[in-house]
Amino acid sequence: MMLAAVALVATTALASVVHAQVPSDPLTQQVRAWRIANAQPILEEFAGLLAMPNQASDSVNIRRNAEQIRALYEKRGVKTQLLESPGSPPVVFGERKSPGATRTILIYVHYDGQPVRPSEWTMKAYEPQVLAGRLEDKAEKKSLAEAAKPENELWRLYARSASDDKAPVVALAAALDALAANKTKIPANLKFFFEGEEEAGSPHLKEMLTRHKALLSSDLILFFDGPRHQSGVRQVVYGVRGSFDVEIAVFGPVRPLHSGHYGNWAPNPAVRLMHFLGSLRDDDGKILIPGYYDDVRGITPAERASLATIPSADAKLREELLLASSEANNASLSERIMLPALNLRGIVAGGVGSGATNAVPSIARASIDFRLVPNQTPERVRELFEKQAIAQGWTIVHDSAEATPEVRRSKAKVMWLRWLDGYAAQRTPLDHPLGRDVLRIVERTGGERVATVPTLGGSAPLVIFEQVLGAPIINVPIANYDNSQHAPNENIRLKEFWEGIEIYAGLMARLGAPVP
């Protein structure tokens, strides 16, 4: 009940922030006319793709997604192939050559999604559902056909990966159609790289890129992932934070013990884990691990100047998210994401509410995700984290076989760790000429201001592209910011999806030729 009361509260809708404007750009006018005329088949193609479960570890379904994407692009004249690595979902690679092209653009999108905890979703995660607005506002269910009408652009499509990151898969295909329908020339060679394990930490990416380095060579990598800025404005993004995850388990008595007969005698693993986790960061997000900020390079003057171009959404966000105004902390969201983050994404021990029993739990588990900024490395993060644990008397084991009864009997505090694959942050210099071209093109597709953003708060393995392929990388995210990506009830608002088609069409039609 407590939760229901909270979930149902109406919060400030994004509706008032952005209004449809007639674009002054003739190309965008053409693309818009085409996508309005073809809205229903585009949405049907989108829903068809969203109906496929796409967790990277689901080896059967993830491959069905890859085959579907391959078919979508073959239909548009893109020559495709699957790039394989043992144990990995395939990469869908596509190529579209332009006669006389002097530039090659590699476009990256990922087609896998975050795991789903079905009990937390209002609808089924893999049964796409249109609502005439936001779920939180009790919007009604609608059909795709109704959603296709231009006046319904503030409606939303709910499904896992609706925003992150299948929207770009479908919007790009639609953009190719729109350009073809208008006989618009594409000046550059295009290459497409659809990854299938981004949400799982991209464990095979480096191997894939290295093996296919020649196939993937390009002058610019366009990265399509993530949401627009929280203020609603379009953004051109020059970097991402790195990402690194760790799973933690600590042990108490071999079986749960009656908390009366054994409480305050038997060690409680949840309490011990809590004390350790509590030593890692403060309530406001500052990381307390000694030396953690030593690797962090500060914000440069150029970055600080670009931060000034970003509208502040902080107050609006706090209002919407039911956060107190005193949460203002010591920096804005734009500045905060320039810093490292340590997020306790999960902790589970024993039970609560109706599942609570008067027992000392036998195990406590936690999961942490780290967001890295230049010049942090996963290796160093791991080293500092484990050093902190060891300094507090923990014995660390890294594999199932090692948390043996012998170890547990001889060491009071045994911590089991599983480090997932991670990667460092990436930043393209803010003054790169191709970056400036991208910014100008995005500005022309809409009448609005475009923010220049040094880094997304989110992560993608761009550093691996940079290291292996050596090309600059620019990210143009299209999704609405309030899309609940990585959470239950993920969605995309149609307006942002439609404008994504226009942005992608503009980029494909203009990059590789001189941009006025």
**Touching a copy of itself, residues 59-118 (CB under 8 A):** 114-115, 117
Q: Based on the shown chain and the rule CB under 8 A, indicate whether residue 390 belongs to the binding site for a copy of itself.
A: no
CA trace torsion 185, 191, 197, 203 (10° rounding): -150
Least CB distance to a copy of itself at residue 458 (A):
3
Q: Based on the shown chain and the rule CB under 8 A, indicate whether residue 476 belongs to the binding site for a copy of itself.
A: no
Site for a copy of itself in 143-162 (CB under 8 A): none
Instruction: Between 29 and 122, name the residue whose CB sits nearer to a copy of itself.
Output: 122
Least CB distance to a copy of itself at residue 92 (A):
23
Phi, psi of 492 (to 5 degrees): -130, 140
Q: Based on the shown chain and the rule CB under 8 A, indicate whether residue 340 belongs to the binding site for a copy of itself.
A: yes
DSSP-derived pairing of the beta strands 450-453 and 473-475? unpaired
- Residue 14 in tokens: 């994004």
Residue 462 is inside which H or E element, if any?
helix 462-469
Instruction: Between 16 and 354, name the residue whose CB sits nearer to a copy of itself.
Output: 354
Q: Based on the shown chain and the rule CB under 8 A, indicate whether residue 353 belongs to the binding site for a copy of itself.
A: yes
Site for a copy of itself in 367-386 (CB under 8 A): 367, 369, 371
Give the one residue of 21, 214, 308, 354 binding a copy of itself; rule: CB under 8 A: 354
Instruction: Between 155 and 416, name the residue whose CB sits nearer to a copy of itself.
Output: 416
The stretch near a copy of itself (CB under 8 A) out of 74-82, 241-249, 382-390, 444-452 is 241-249
Q: For 26-101, where are the E strands, in sequence order?
A: 79-83, 91-96
Q: Based on the shown chain and the rule CB under 8 A, indicate whether residue 6 belongs to the binding site for a copy of itself.
A: yes
Instruction: Between 156 and 371, name the residue whose CB sits nearer to a copy of itself.
Output: 371
Q: Is 286 left (phi over 0), alpha (psi -120 to 50) or beta?
A: beta
Instruction: Between 202 and 489, name the residue whose CB sits nearer to a copy of itself.
Output: 489
Nearest to 348 by CA among 330, 362, 331, 327: 362
Instruction: Between 175 and 233, name the residue whose CB sits nearer to a copy of itself.
Output: 233
Instruction: Between 96 and 241, name the residue whose CB sits nearer to a copy of itself.
Output: 241
Give the count of residues interacting with a copy of itself (CB under 8 A).
119
Q: Rounded distance, CA 203 to CA 205, Å? A: 6
Give the one residue of 241, 427, 493, 510 binding a copy of itself; rule: CB under 8 A: 241
Nearest to 175 by CA among 55, 45, 299: 45
Q: How many CA atoms lie within 13 A of 87 on its CB side?
A: 6
Q: Based on the shown chain and the rule CB under 8 A, indicate whether residue 333 belongs to the binding site for a copy of itself.
A: yes
Q: Based on the shown chain and the rule CB under 8 A, indicate whether residue 422 belongs to the binding site for a copy of itself.
A: no
Instruction: Between 120 and 146, name the residue whose CB sits nearer to a copy of itself.
Output: 120
Least CB distance to a copy of itself at residue 511 (A):
26
- Residue 408 in tokens: 């547990």
433-445 and 26-37 helices, crossing angle to 10° = 60
Site for a copy of itself in 248-307 (CB under 8 A): 249, 251-268, 270-272, 274-275, 277-278, 281-286
Give the one residue of 86, 100, 405, 514 binding a copy of itself; rule: CB under 8 A: 405
- Provide the sign of the torsion angle of the four alpha carbons 406, 410, 412, 418, taken in this order: negative
Q: How many residues are listed for the chain in this entry?
A: 516
**End-to-end alpha carbon distance in the chain:** 57
Q: Based on the shown chain and the rule CB under 8 A, indicate whether residue 352 belongs to the binding site for a copy of itself.
A: yes
CB atoms within 10 A of CB 297: 11
Least CB distance to a copy of itself at residue 165 (A):
12
Only one residue has tokens 């089924």, namely 124
SS3 315: helix
Helices of type H across 123-165: 144-147
Site for a copy of itself in 306-325 (CB under 8 A): 318-325
CA max distance for the chain:
81
Least CB distance to a copy of itself at residue 181 (A):
35
The stretch near a copy of itself (CB under 8 A) out of 15-23, 121-129, 140-148, 350-358 is 350-358
Q: Based on the shown chain and the rule CB under 8 A, indicate whether residue 358 belongs to the binding site for a copy of itself.
A: yes
Q: Rounded distance, CA 134 to CA 148, Å? A: 17
